[in-house]
Amino acid sequence: MTTLARNASIALAIARKDALAELRGKHATTSTLFFAAVVLLLFGFALGPDTRKLTEAAPGLLWLAIVFAGLLAVGRLHIVETDDGALEQLALYPIDRRAIYAGKAISGLAAMLVLGAVLLPVVAILYGIDLAGAWPALVATLLLGCTGFAAVGTFYAGVTVRMRAREVMLPLLMLPVIAPLLLAAVKATTAALAGDPFSELPAWLQLLAGYDIVMLIAGAGTYGFLLEE
């Protein structure tokens, strides 16, 4: 129990450090958010001006924007760290590698949640959606979806960060893996917005939760190998 508490405090310390670094270099967060907003705007040009079509596609477009911006966010969390050699320093400490992974995943999750919290109202405004009444289900979907994305993203960002062509390799490796997450999150969001007429929401949330657990275990189990290099 003490080791668990110790690992948790290490993970939180790493996450807090990442959050502080993000907040001090504010331009990075702002530009990612702006990028996602522009993506949503361009989806409007691609599918509009018929608002009905946009409303119908809104859950998918929301999650695609979260995925694209999230790729930038989790990628940068590692790039900042390795470019000044901080990850190597961190790997030298005699601490559990799973704690380092958890720390990076928590800061990734925080970034994703900020992203989701900003994009959801933007989608509602741009694509004409009524969010009232769907809040609890939407928050649950966002929380589970972002957790899975951060779990997978932290792992793949760690894999690609010291590679040639890392900007291409991160999405290339990661997008096929998060396909089930995207699918389940979009379905859950659609169900939530429609008031869950076929009561399929719990099933999709369960799928998301299962995915999160599997990927967190896989990431925590393998991330240590990356720090050995």
Q: Which is nearer to other proteins, 149 or 211 (CB)?
A: 211
Q: Report the nearest approach of other proteins to the CB of residue 166 (Å).
A: 9
Residue 222 found at the interface with other proteins (CB under 8 A): yes
Residue 28 found at the interface with other proteins (CB under 8 A): no
CA angle 66, 67, 73 (to 5 degrees): 85
Helix (H, G, I), strand (E, B) or coil at 224: helix
Residue 131 found at the interface with other proteins (CB under 8 A): no
Q: Report the nearest approach of other proteins to the CB of residue 29 (Å).
A: 28
Site for other proteins in 136-155 (CB under 8 A): 152, 155
Residue with tokens 């967190």: 216
| Cα(110)–Cα(199) distance, integer angstroms | 29
By CB under 8 A, name the one of 122, 177, 196, 209 that touches other proteins: 177
By CB under 8 A, name the one of 126, 211, 216, 220 that touches other proteins: 211
Q: Report the nearest approach of other proteins to the CB of residue 126 (Å).
A: 26
Q: Report the nearest approach of other proteins to the CB of residue 153 (Å).
A: 12
Helix (H, G, I), strand (E, B) or coil at 26: coil
By CB under 8 A, name the one of 184, 192, 193, 220 that touches other proteins: 184
Residue 92 found at the interface with other proteins (CB under 8 A): no
The helix or strand, by DSSP H or E, that contains position 67, with its residue range, turns out to be helix 51-83
Residue with tokens 């657990």: 213
Long-range contacts at 105-108 (CB < 8 A, ≥ 24 apart): 105/150, 105/151, 105/154, 105/216, 105/219, 106/11, 106/12, 106/14, 106/15, 106/150, 107/14, 107/15, 107/18, 107/19, 107/22, 107/77, 108/73, 108/74, 108/77, 108/149, 108/150, 108/153, 108/154, 108/157
Choose one: 12-20, 43-51, 53-61, 176-184; the region binding other proteins (CB under 8 A): 176-184
Q: Which residues bind other proteins (CB under 8 A)?
A: 152, 155, 159-160, 163-165, 169, 172-173, 175-177, 179-180, 183-184, 187, 198, 200, 203-204, 207, 210-211, 214-215, 218-219, 222, 225-226, 228-229
